[in-house]
Homo-oligomer: A and B are copies of this chain.
Amino acid sequence: MSRSDPEASLQDEAARAGWMYYVGGKTQDQIATELGVSRQRAQRLVSRAMTDGLVHVRLEHKIAACLVLEAELTRRFGLCEVRVAPSLGDGGDPTRAIAGVGAGLMEKYLRRTEPLIMALGTGRALRACADEMLPITAEQHRIVSLIGNIAPDGSASFYDVIIRISDRVRAPHFPMPVPVISDTAAERAMFQRLRPAQIVFDLAKAADVTFVGVGQMGDDAPLLLDGFVSAPDLAEMQALGATGEIAGWVFDAQGKYIETCLSDRLGSARLEPNRPAPVIGIAAGLRKVRALKAALEGHIINGLVTDEATAQALLI
């Protein structure tokens, strides 16, 4: 006990404080007294338990208004799987709202008894879902990434959701061993010919269920913010009618893929329209409405996890 890892023991203390606060319903004063620390420290521990993701909160009630929206979306776009999370209102982060709901849906698939292949794209919302998942053992399934996991500097890509999910889900997982974006078309071709990459591509194509983020292509496009394209490149794409993007593959307002300067260097698998298996888009926020609508109408995705406000906007 005398020389344990200070970081770990801090987490321990935070977990204990968070436990007493959230589960036990004690005040921070009481916790401070019982743990023998100052009230301020207790406050920091409780807050750390939350920010470190030690505490998970889920709501057990389907709000009627959300159920109505789910039914509407299913009918309107012919979807196979829809979840609408209640909006968090004006200041709320919509990603936050859908994370728990999306995590629950992913868990639902992972709890299936028959083995299945789950493919994962990228995006902040998808990452948030991964972080909200409860630990689960699902050895019978295989989890495969749609996007390359080699970042420009050679390290494992920060954007690869599969890395995050592998902490919580005990299942065989298959990162895509190619660069997110290659420098040249030739380099991509070289990587894609490699046998390991082929295996992962084939798995992705055969996925029984796919979860992807959906990016908008406005001036706040995730592709731009994350440095995958330059502002002039983005402007060029916009001129070509770029409306949305899934795993880096850009499509127009009808959900038809368009050729861009990325097309021949992108390491990710492209989701072809009208896949028979569920392809579930996870995205929320009014800025994403156009992109989502295009992906839905182009049948690139046939499932949706979003929030109330976005759902409403999609149905206008």
Contacts and interface: CB of A to CB of B under 8 A. Distances in A.
Interface of A: 4, 8-9, 11-12, 14-16, 18-20, 22-26, 30-31, 34, 49, 53-65, 86, 88-93, 96-97, 100, 111, 113, 134-137, 140
A267 B20 CA distance: 39
Contact of A113 (B65, B100, B140): B140
8 contacts: A19-B88, A23-B96, A26-B88, A56-B58, A56-B59, A58-B58, A60-B134, A111-B137
Contact of A59 (B19, B60, B88, B140): B19
Contact of A89 (B15, B22, B24, B86): B24
Contact of A86 (B19, B60, B91): B19
Contacts of A62: 15
B56 A57 contact: yes
A59 B4 CA distance: 22
A93 B14 CA distance: 20
A63 B12 contact: yes
A23 B97 contact: yes
Nearest to A68: B1
Interface of A is mostly: mixed
Contacts of A64: 4, 8-9, 12
A151 to B, nearest CB: 27
Nearest to A5: B64
B61 A11 contact: yes
Most buried by B among A61, A62, A64, A113: A61
B54 A59 contact: yes
A89 B57 contact: no
A128 to B, nearest CB: 12
B12 A65 contact: yes
Nearest to A52: B61
Contacts of A136: 111
B60 A57 contact: no
Contacts of A61: 11-12, 14-15, 49, 54
Given A4-B64, A9-B64, A26-B89, 6 more contacts: A14-B61, A16-B86, A26-B92, A49-B61, A55-B57, A56-B60
